[in-house]
Structure 1
Amino acid sequence: MHSGGCYRSVDTPSRASLCSIETTDAYSPETPLFQLAKAIAEQIIAHAQQDDPNECCGLLAAEGDAIVAALPAPNAAASPYRYTIDSKELLRLFREIEWGDKPWRVAGNYHSHTHSEAYPSPTDVREAHLGPDATYLIISLRNPQQPEIRAFRINDDTHVITEEALHITDL
């Protein structure tokens, strides 16, 4: 499990270690900026490490523009090469997020790549169906001592991938 060591995120265009979190203005105004609390990033990475060698998966909940929770889901595919959230589990998570007692919305999902980079695979792109504003976080465990986390938007219709500048915050 991740125990407070280093992991990497993308603070576009360079990659920065989260051991020394710094704000960067390196991204362009056209690059979407995605902010994620360090505690949520660590929770997602711990989930990925716990489920390794299989991919992990879950949904991201937002309140306004802030990601407020990562809700883990069992990987029904139980595979190191793909993930599937069972339809009943997906419905349960959507209900918890969208219709629960908090003013949350589904902001995207997350999953891990156990042996490859944190970049959407062709399968990830084909199965991206959460809408144009959804964020897809991918955690790479290719280097287990230094997991990498990156954020993307995937256009459902054109399958165009846009990387978001990921900023991990202390909040």
Structure 2
Amino acid sequence: MDLFRKKPTMKEQVRESQRGITKGVREIDRELLALKREEDKLIREIKAAAKGNNQAATRVLAKSLVRLRAQITTLQASAAQLKGVGHNITTAAATATVSSAVGHASKAMGALQQQMDPVKMQRQLAAFSRENERLDMVGEMVGDTLDAALDGEETEEETGELVSQ
């Protein structure tokens, strides 16, 4: 037992599982290849026995061929199941990663919400609105004062002439 060894991360566990599954699929593929060679050999033997009119040997070899093909089918199904398990592991790891990210995001959103006091924000927005209105009024008064100071009787006469044209 490794008491001081740290627990592997999910990514490491997934990688190790995938490695084992890939190894298992390769072993099954090797076995399938050997069985296919055996199938070809049996077919040749059946043909040779049939040519020699040896019915008993032909029957026994044919039964062996049927069993061999059933074994091939079973191994192919096993390989497909292993590959499916590999896909399920990958999907589960992706789901866990997304779940973790959503958890971190929700914590961040909670922290932001705690920092945002709605009453305080409302007061700040109201104060901003008041100050903005004051600034507008001061701007209008300054504009009116400048217009009054700069405008003389000549400006009013020119304005009247332009309007009458």
Class of the TM-score when normalised by the shorter of the 2 chains:
under 0.3
Larger Rg: 2
More helix by share: 2
More strand by share: 1
Q: TM-score, normalised by structure 1?
A: 0.19
